[in-house]
Structure 1
Amino acid sequence: MLSTQSRPVIEATLPIIGARISSITPNFYDRLFAAHPQLLDGIFSRSNQKNGTQQQALAGSIAVFATHLINSPETLPETMLARIAHKHTSLGVVEEQYPIVYEHLFAAIAEDLGDALTQEIADAWSEVYWLMAHALIKIEKGLYSQQANDVVYSQWKLAERTEEANNSVTFSFEPADDIVASTAKAGQFVSVRMPMTDGLRQVRQYTLSGDVENTARRTVTVKLDVDGEFTPVMHNSLKVGDIVELSNPYGDLTIDESGAPLVIATAGIGCTPSAAALSTLAARGSTRKLTVLHADQEYTAWPLREQMIESLSKLPQATLSTWFERGELPEHIEAKSGYMDLSDSLTADSHVYLCGPLPFMHAVRGQALAAGVPAQHIHYEVFGPDVWLAA
């Protein structure tokens, strides 16, 4: 918790720092990469730097953490910290890098605030930073220790690629070295690291969409972003037999084991964790009550639809409802025109899992809360930096 000296200072300055942090973080990253350009080679995404989402995510996490320390001084925002820690470990972030971040972040804060940054304010916000840093370091060490190996990346060979709907491709990889692979859980992701056209390595995280518990295979489904940097290389250049680097599996959007009714609501390529969960539950012969909801532009644009429908046919307590914005509606499944409506799908004891575009998740989360589902039972996954925190 915050010290008695720092708490009133953070309370007084949080509105100012909170309002300025979105201006401070771009300066921080400029300073960081000027001093340590190697961090753009295989750790930080230069695309997320360019579009500003990484800056938004960092600003949001700092503001949320400081606000939590004020409003709930006896606890930490564990969900947020776990989400960040899983992303960090998939990138190989280590304890020694936190002082580097601190140095350049606080130099950016000092430049932005100028004479308004007194020693008292600097000390208080330093305390906030290190409380957050040490909490993350502890979680990250625990995650690293759970893996079956002690490496960040191992080599995997592309064994199969399958064209899916809506400019999506499923890539299946097999081990290309002797490193023992960690077992994954449905809903987790792996980092894929590859050199780009200029030779600089970049990293992206992709949810496992199949073969989840098979340590001899990693399968992800990737939608093409024609304006992006990474997915065009995967789609257009990655051939069967090529070698890429994959991290151990991480991520906390895993199905709870409480036995409570599950509601999985997805849109577009956000169906990947749902597809993985369904195939895993089907393989286990699950009889759990499960409601699967999916929204898409049209039926033919739904990636992994055949895999999901086949898995659902093996789950006796599962139901499927779909919504499509345009096109003909399929007759062999329940389908409606328009946008997703959860009014008939939720009970207060439901555990809800969301994945899709941010506007979709905002809307569906609001419906779940209105139906009486506790906030702690609503789980989500954001592809890329978690800008929901900033919002």
Structure 2
Amino acid sequence: MLSEESARTVRETLPAVTRALPAISSRFYDLLFADHPVLLRDVFNRVRHATGEQPAALAAAIAEFAAHLVRDPSALPEAMLSRIAHRHASVGVRPEQYGLVHEYLFRAIGEVLGDAVTPEVAAAWDETYWLMAGRLGAAESDARTAAGLPAGPLTSSWREWVVVDRVEATGQVTTFRLVPADGGPAPVFRPGQYTSLRVFLPDGAWQTRQYSLTGPPDSGTWTISVKRVQSAQGPDGEVSHHLHLKVPVGARVELSAPFEDFVLPELPGHLLLVSAGIGVTPVLPLLRQLAGSDHQDPVTVVHADRSPRTHVGRDEHQALVDALPNGTAHFWYTEPSQGHHVERLGRPDLDALPVPCGTHVYVSGPPSFVIDVRTRLQDRGTPPEHIHYEVFGADAQSYAAGGHAGCPWSDAAVG
């Protein structure tokens, strides 16, 4: 909790600092990478940085934490902190790196705000930063323990895996099946968890992305489905292109332990599972879990895609819903095939779906889709704590909307 004096100062300066945060975060990364270019090469998502999404995400995270801190310290954005912590734990963030971030962030604050940064203002925001860093550090330690990793943020948690099979799921999505290169067992994961994948690119950089684990949790292999990211407005996804074009059967990549953002509660109850595009990948394992557990409560499944041809795992998606005693599927396409429901063209109409009190909602897809679904459901009365997210891409708005976007040391995952 902030001291009374610091809380008053942060509350008074929060509007001005929030307005300046985009410039501060952009300058922060310029300063950091000028002195430590290896961080951009080997730690950060270079595509997200090039598009400006990473600086925007950092600004949004700081603003969101500070706003909660001065509004109600007992109700901090725990979901946001947990999601950042799991990302950090998956890529091996070390405690001393928070000191490095602090150094360059406060240099950037001084450059952007100038004389407005009085000793009192600097002390209050310094206290805010270290409170956030402390909460993240504790959550990262908990995440590593839950993943069965050694105590402490050790980069040795990376493990080499071999591609044993690859299948073109759709024209833009390839599914990779992998086994540990050391011949040891593949860790059992929880449906909905992801792994961080690290590849060595031709220009000498190590780049890391996160991918949902889509196969059976105890199969002895891990499976990921990777969409080849192509952008008309910025750089294409360099890791997804590398995996599609340069990683054949027999190739090796590095994977982290499994971490969680998107797992079912012990007693799921009534569920609404909403996905779009490649966002279906964490939903399929959840449905397999439900189908294998004799889940009797209603499960409503909504998916949006361009067409049945681009809908990854469409047949299994439908079959898993059909296997549930009270499962209902609503597939929406912008380019439907013959015989598709004419009332399900375009974006999903969630207003027509019942969402009883107590329903847990799982939303997975691009940032704009997740934010839109979450906003519409909250407007209908669904509590924020009952809406769980997996955002495929970085977006500054998704922190304020309760999702995850990025963080000082790693970014969510597609590219």
- Fold in common (TM above 0.5): yes
AA of the residue aligned to 1:27: R
Distance change in 2, residues 1:29/1:254 (3 Å): same
Q: Please give the alpha-carbon distance, in whole angstroms, between the structure 2 residues aligned to 1:179 and 1:42.
A: 27
Match of 1:231 among 219, 228, 240: 240
Q: Please give the alpha-carbon distance, in whole angstroms, between the structure 2 residues aligned to 1:115 and 1:335.
A: 59
AA of the residue aligned to 1:65: F
User: CA-atom RMSD, angstroms?
Assistant: 1.9
Note the C-alpha offset of 1:211.
Answer: 2.2
State the match for 2:308 in structure 1.
299
TM-score by length of 1: 0.94
Q: Which deviates more from structure 2 when the two are superposed, residues 281-290 or residues 370-379?
A: 281-290
State the match for 1:112 in structure 2.
112
TM-score by length of 2: 0.89
| Residues 139-180 of structure 1: CA deviation (Å, up to 9, x unaligned) | 101111222343421011101111112411111111112566
| Residues 288-338 of structure 1: CA deviation (Å, up to 9, x unaligned) | 42111111111221111122223223222211111111232545x897222
Match status 1:376 vs 2:385: yes
Match status 1:351 vs 2:360: yes
* 3-state secondary structure, aligned to 1:266: strand
State the match for 2:371 in structure 1.
362
Match of 1:267 among 255, 276, 291: 276
State the match for 2:161 in structure 1.
156
Distance change in 2, residues 1:179/1:25 (3 Å): farther
Match status 1:168 vs 2:173: yes
Contact 1:348–1:371 (CA under 8 A) maintained in structure 2: no
Q: Name the count of aligned residue pairs.
A: 389
Q: Please give the alpha-carbon distance, in whole angstroms, between the structure 2 residues aligned to 1:71 and 1:292.
A: 36
State the match for 1:193 in structure 2.
198
State the match for 2:226 in structure 1.
222
Note the C-alpha offset of 1:221.
Answer: 0.8
AA of the residue aligned to 2:325: P
* 3-state secondary structure, aligned to 1:294: strand
Q: Please give the alpha-carbon distance, in whole angstroms, between the structure 1 residues aligned to 2:343 and 2:163.
A: 35
Runs of 4+ residues over 6 Å off in structure 1 = none
Q: Please give the alpha-carbon distance, in whole angstroms, between the structure 2 residues aligned to 1:178 and 1:213.
A: 16
Note the C-alpha offset of 1:345.
Answer: 3.4
State the match for 1:69 in structure 2.
69
State the match for 1:337 in structure 2.
345
State the match for 2:32 in structure 1.
32
Match status 1:389 vs 2:399: yes
Higher relative contact order (CA closer than 8 Å, sequence separation 6+)? 2
AA of the residue aligned to 2:275: T
Consecutive unaligned residues of structure 2, counting only runs of 5 or more, are 151-155, 231-235, 402-415
Note the C-alpha offset of 1:384.
Answer: 3.4
Contact 1:299–1:330 (CA under 8 A) maintained in structure 2: no
Note the C-alpha offset of 1:78.
Answer: 0.7
Contact 2:268–2:360 (CA under 8 A) maintained in structure 1: no
Distance change in 2, residues 1:23/1:348 (3 Å): same
How high is the sequence identity, in percent, across the aligned residues? Answer: 39
